[in-house]
Structure 1
Amino acid sequence: MNIKLVVVGKVKEKYFRDGISEYEKRLSRFCKFKIVQVSDEKAPESLSEAEMDEVKQKEGERILSKIGDKEFVFALAILGKQFSSEEFAAKIKDLTTYGHSDITFVIGGSLGLSDAVMKRANDTISFGRFTLPHQLMRLVFCEQIYRAFMINNGSPYHK
């Protein structure tokens, strides 16, 4: 099984990088896990709606260039579906049971995901209506992927 996390921008803080690296290492016993970073589009603080769309479109093109035709894609979006950890684990298990060995998760830039990326996504995930820094979201999501594998393996880690 291949799990890929396509993300916009770099993780700047060492403590986030260290946490993410720890989950990458832990996940290696369950799957081939990789994080693919695409560069974020430089933009001033105040943008018009059209400028925001242009930034998302450019980042979206970079994201889509990293996704293959056969990959099952989840877009992380505020308005996406909310799953409990158990439901998320079951979703991953079901996908692999029914022939989806390449699963990709997409975390967009600070402005979100382009319409093209949302159209390419097979499903969505939301961590609620909170706005979280993308670096923190990356760490939290890596932990949730690890937790899903631990649940599916009957590990006490989840308790």
Structure 2
Amino acid sequence: MVAVGKLKGWPADGCADYAKRLRRHFAVETIEVPEEDMNRRSPTEVLATEAERIFRRIPAGSHVVALDRERGKSLSSEKVSQRLASLGVAGRSDLTLLVGGPLGLSQGIIGGADEVWSFGEITLPHALARVVLLEQLYRAVKIERGERYHW
């Protein structure tokens, strides 16, 4: 995952917990790029600067999925599981998930992504979106493996 901003407090704890669970199944890395100061620059400048930082951190050859509420495709947990499984079958084992900051992701990032996903029409704080994303990946792994999620 490449995400804008550094997490603190309970969102950081939640992400760390799900990343630990996911590492039992595959490698997980979270790269945090600095959040641009929205008080000193226009939204367009903020998004452009953050986009440059994100682009530099996307591994070559990676399948890129951007998160965007307005432009993304809403997927059920089962569909996320199926999508991840199909990427693995297609030999696309390097997946990079992009999460923007308070302003989201630039049009350039969205347009350059292989896929754009959404958590539906609700607006989530970007820190919470990161927790939800990792939780959904963990849930997808459990679904794919036919394992129980709830105890």
Identify whether the pair has TM-score above 0.5, normalized to the shorter chain: yes
For 1:129 and 1:52, the matched residues in 2 are separated by: 22
What amino acid does structure 2 have at the position aligned with 1:11? L
Could you tell me the TM-score, scaled by structure 2's length? 0.94
Inter-partner Cα distance in structure 2 for 1:16 and 1:114: 23
- Preserved contact between residue 72 and residue 102 of structure 1 (Cα < 8 Å): yes
> Any idea what SS the aligned residue of 2:105 has?
coil
The one-letter amino acid paired with 2:62 is: E
Q: CA RMSD in A?
A: 1.5
Residue 158 of structure 1, CA deviation: 5.9
Structure 1 vs Structure 2: percent identity of aligned residues? 40
CA distance in 2, matches of 1:119, 1:26: 31
Q: Give the deviation of 1:69 after TM superposition.
A: 2.6
Give the aligned length: 150
Higher mean displacement: 74-83 or 14-23? 14-23
State yes or no: 1:42 paired with 2:30.
no
The 3-state SS of whatever aligns with 1:157 is: coil
2:16 equivalent to 1:21: yes
CA distance in 2, matches of 1:120, 1:69: 13
- Mapping of residues 97-112 of structure 1, within 5 Å: 97-112=89-104
Equivalent residue of 1:75, what SS?
Answer: strand
Distance 2:108 2:10 in 1: 33
Q: For 2:53, which of 62, 67, 81 is the aligned residue?
A: 62
The residue type equivalent to 2:39 in the other structure is P
Whole-Å Cα distance in 2 between the matches of residues 55 and 18 of structure 1? 27
Deviates further, 91-100 or 110-119: 110-119
1:115 CA drift (Å): 1.9
Give unpaired runs (5+ residues) of structure 2. none
Q: Is the 8 A contact 1:150 1:158 kept in 2?
A: no
Deviation at 1:104, TM superposition (A): 0.6
Q: Is 1:151–1:158's contact at 8 Å kept on the other side of the alignment?
A: no
Q: Note the 1:95-134 alignment, pairs <5 A.
A: 95-134=87-126
